[in-house]
Chain A
């Protein structure tokens, strides 16, 4: 199979368009009328066991995922302290939109997402591509790359807090001092705090993505590289014309997953800075947490769920738009 075959194979896949087309509906072959099955037959054919097997999953999902989600939607229209509740219409949404911290949180979250995209997105890709070219010790490098993911996040953050000690004898400042740089304030500066969080988050998350890319890279037929080499392609040429096109689908998915993930960033600002200094790292999720629990008497569960709902709707719309936009790219 050559590159041309791949291209032609891709060409026969119909280019999708958004929305059901009337033609498509008409072209669908008419289904044969379904014969009604007796309950006994349904059981004999495994219907019952299917339901029984699926039941634990449905119950667990229902109780621990869907029920809380439904409850949150209800709560966003209520004022409640979890003991008593009354309906307040859209008041919670109005209160959230009027909060002067909301624009700050949205801006900070967008800034985090952008920084994470610029630094965090390419790093695992480059790492995976480099690792895939290794003939030996690939396993060792995979382990090293994945190790940070295994470290419990709280431990990792506490460790990095130590690294980010702003004093000249702090770990990073000491090391940078050897080459005449710093000392830097890291988390103790309103401008430097967010990039510092992104640095740790990238370190912590890159390993998982590297593994996904490595797995995807194994699906690239080696013949393609051989063919490219015969055609005189450079390393960059091979990456550009063979590797990246094969990773396209995965890249598009990891891109939107990263956006969704970074829009929900909480752990780093919560543990590193508590949103400080001076609200420089308050993110949308941290704001939600503050509404719900941030004050010792926190009873703004309504505002917290309202903002959660708004974030969820925003991310859902973004995801839909992204998949519509990229539908053509991923199948070509």
Chain B
């Protein structure tokens, strides 16, 4: 599950029409369309995901500049950006209500079901226009394929591994070395307490609502060698929410909350609100996707100097890093002209910046000049070589403090990765929100009983 980005309750109708911008041109206006196909004459208006509601003005300016570049390249396509943040609890309502933009983002794990439900447009023909269609990481691309083998959703934006993010300033204030972040869960607890005792600020926090509590608990479970569901040989799935790793992590959270008082006691934190709290200096450490710095800079105005990232502590035989990612998809109602425009936009906004030197540099320049993150570590959508090549192109514009993330970047390609639970993903996460909230709010929370209850319900969902 990628970043819980969706419209917030306040911004359900917050569609912002981005006007045409004059005066910004790509370096080469004669750039051919992907696949070399000339743009048609018919005027198409395409609504697309712009940024998370509440993003910094500079980020919107950068977006608008990229839109202007696109519209110059394809004069017959009129792009309108819509503020959007995918969130489990509002996505279905937007989908059912038809309020999603033409091109929207979904988590990797949701694609199969949406395709099965007929809720995504078949992009197979349009996808074939991309001259790099054959070069995607096959496992990622497969997540967006239907049973008919057609492509319905395209890996875009980023693929991330969950990592531990921390506030270097608070580390220093607590007498900790910010270049030596914790590497075991025991150290996380120890550091959190030291930070709380020295600064009065919560040393650690966890997301807890809108399924994100379960998402991060699952990530922690993987990092301790556990799994929340297992496939059997006969094709059925067994829920294992009550595994020892999940239990151990909840026990740690409970001890941090009630014994150490080092855990931020807030059950209303989700992907975006925990970012806010982190940027506001209300917590020192939390886990989320490796690419969060982009959002912290775009939306929360974080000064990257205080930011640090390190790898998730991996403990136990089967320990692994939870990976997730974002796919770009198009609404099922879209006609061929819209689909064609959509694939051009997906190429321009999400993918060409990873593959085409000119586009990569143009994008990096725009982002750099707007003070947005360039070079934030993510996992490759194509290949490691392509990713390293892309970083080399952008080298002059990289403005994120990569030397403050070596704890992650040194090992990101070596860590074992584990995909999200493949069945009833969001439901499983929702069920796991409950024990997370319980240990945050109840000193005597009965962890085994909570997990047993959640497991029973998860199994019922898997048996459906």
Binding site for B on A (CB under 8 A): 81-84, 100, 154, 158, 161, 166, 185, 187-190, 270-274, 276-280, 290, 292-299
| Distance to closest chain B CB from A280 (angstroms) | 8
- New A-B pairs, 14, CB < 8 Å, besides A83-B117, A276-B267: A81-B119, A82-B96, A84-B118, A166-B265, A166-B266, A185-B265, A188-B266, A190-B442, A272-B268, A276-B208, A276-B433, A279-B434, A293-B92, A295-B427
Measured in the bound complex, the distance between the Cα atoms of B445 and A271 in whole Å is 25
**In the complex, which of the residues B91, B267, B457 contacts A277, with contact meaning CB atoms closer than 8 Å?**
B267
The residue that B93 contacts in the complex, of A100, A187, A189, A293, with Cβ under 8 A, is: A293
26 contacts between A and B (CB under 8 A): A83-B117, A100-B457, A185-B441, A187-B267, A187-B268, A190-B438, A273-B209, A276-B208, A276-B209, A276-B267, A277-B438, A277-B440, A278-B438, A278-B445, A278-B450, A280-B441, A293-B92, A294-B88, A294-B92, A295-B211, A296-B86, A296-B87, A297-B92, A297-B113, A297-B114, A297-B117
CA distance A296 to B85 in the complex (A): 12
Q: Are B117 and A299 in contact (CB under 8 A)?
A: yes
Kindly provide the distance from the CB of A154 to the nearest chain B CB, expressed in whole angstroms.
Answer: 6
> Contact flags (1/0) for B114-125 with A, using CB distance below 8 Å?
100111000000
The answer to whether B268 and A273 touch across the interface, beta carbons within 8 angstroms, is yes
Let me know if B209 and A293 touch, CB within 8 A. Answer: no
- Contact partner, B267, options A154, A188, A271, Cβ 8 Å: A188
Does B10 interact with chain A (Cβ within 8 Å)? yes
Q: Does B210 contact A (CB under 8 A)?
A: yes
**Minimal beta-carbon separation of B192 from chain A (angstroms):** 17
> Given A166-B266, A295-B426, A296-B110: A188 and B440 within 8 A (CB)?
yes
Q: State the CA gap A272–B427 with chains docked (Å).
A: 21
The smallest beta-carbon distance between B62 and chain A, in angstroms, is: 28
Residue of A nearest to B426 (CB): A295
* B430 in contact with A294 (CB, 8 Å): yes
Q: Bound complex: CA of A277 vs CA of B266, how far in Å?
A: 9
Could you tell me the distance between the alpha carbons of A278 and B106 in the complex, rounded to whole angstroms?
27
Residues from chain B with Cβ under 8 Å of A188 in the complex: 265-267, 440-441
What chain A residues lie within 8 Å of B450 (beta carbons)? 278
Cβ of B90 < 8 Å from any Cβ of A? Answer: yes
Query: Which chain B positions have C-beta within 8 A of A161?
Result: 268
* Nearest chain A CB to B437 CB, angstrom units: 4
A82 vs B95: C-alpha distance in the bound complex, in angstroms? 11
**Which residues on A sit within 8 Å (CB–CB) of B9?**
154, 270-271
Q: In whole angstroms, what is the CA distance A189 to B441 when docked?
A: 5
Q: Which residues of A contact B107 (CB under 8 A)?
A: 296
Q: Which residues of B contact A293 (CB under 8 A)?
A: 89-90, 92-93, 96
Residues on A with C-beta less than 8 A from B231 are: none
Inter-chain contacts of B119 with A (CB < 8 A): 81, 83
- Inter-subunit contact A297/B437 (CB<8 Å): no
Within the assembled complex, what's the spacing in Å between the Cα atoms of A151 and B167?
A: 38
The CA-CA distance from A270 to B210 in the complex, in Å, is 11
B453 within 8 A of A: yes
CB distance from A299 to the nearest CB of B (A): 7
Chain B contacts of A272 at CB under 8 A? 268
Chain B residue contacts of A297, Cβ below 8 A: 92, 110, 113-114, 117, 426
Determine whether the beta carbon of B437 is less than 8 Å from that of A278. Answer: yes
> What residues on B are CB-neighbors of A277 within 8 Å?
208, 267, 437-438, 440-442
B:90-142 near A, CB below 8 Å: 90-93, 96, 106-107, 110, 113-114, 117-119
Q: Which residue of A lies closest to B89 (CB)?
A: A294
Q: Is the CB of B265 within 8 A of A296?
A: no
**Alpha-carbon separation in the docked complex, A273 to B268 (Å):** 6
Does A296 lie within 8 Å of B438, measured CB to CB?
Answer: no
Neighbouring A residues of B210 by C-beta, 8 Å? 274
Q: Which chain A positions have C-beta within 8 A of B211? A: 295
The answer to whether B88 touches A296 (Cβ under 8 A) is yes
Task: Looking at the assembled complex, report how far the CB atom of A174 sits from the nearest CB atom of chain B, in whole angstroms.
Answer: 16
**Cβ of A274: which chain B residues have Cβ within 8 Å of it?**
89, 209-210, 268
CA of A185 to CA of B437, assembled, Å: 13
Residues on the A chain within 8 Å of B445, using CB:
278
Closest chain-A Cβ to B287's Cβ sits at a distance in Å of 20
Given A293-B92, A294-B430, A297-B92, A278 and B117 contact (CB-CB distance below 8 Å): no
Contact of A292 among B92, B114, B440 (CB under 8 A): B92
Q: Bound state CA distance, A189 and B268, in angstroms?
A: 12
State the Cβ distance, A135 to closest chain B Cβ, in Å: 43
Contacts of A81 in B (CB 8 A): 117-119
Chain A contacts of B117 at CB under 8 A?
A: 81, 83, 297, 299
One of A187, A270, A295 near B88 (C-beta < 8 A): A295
Please indicate which of the listed interface residues A84, A279, A298 has the most CB atoms of chain B within 10 Å of its own CB: A298
Q: Give the distance to chain A from B449, nearest Cβ to Cβ, in Å.
A: 12
- A150 and B89 CA atoms in complex are apart in Å by 27
For residue B87, which residue of chain A has the nearest CB? A296
- Cα distance, A84 to B110, chains bound together (Å): 19
Q: Residue on A with the closest CB to B10?
A: A154
**B208 — which chain A residues lie within 8 A by C-beta?**
276-277
Interchain CB contact under 8 A, B426 and A278 = no
Determine which residue in A83, A272, A278, A290 has the highest number of CB atoms from chain B within 10 A of its CB, and name it: A278
Q: Which residues of B contact A290 (CB under 8 A)?
A: 89, 430
Chain B nearest Cβ from A171, distance in angstroms? 16
Q: How far is the CB of A311 from chain B (nearest CB, A)?
A: 19
In the complex, how many angstroms separate the beta carbon of B316 from the nearest chain A beta carbon?
27
**How long is the Cα–Cα vector from A141 to B265 in the complex, in angstroms?**
39
Q: A278 contacts which of B89, B113, B427, B434 (Cβ < 8 Å)?
A: B434
Question: In whole angstroms, how far apart are the Cα atoms of A153 and B272 in the complex?
Answer: 22
Residue of B nearest to A301 (CB): B96
- How many angstroms from the CA of A274 to the CA of B442 in the assembled complex? 17
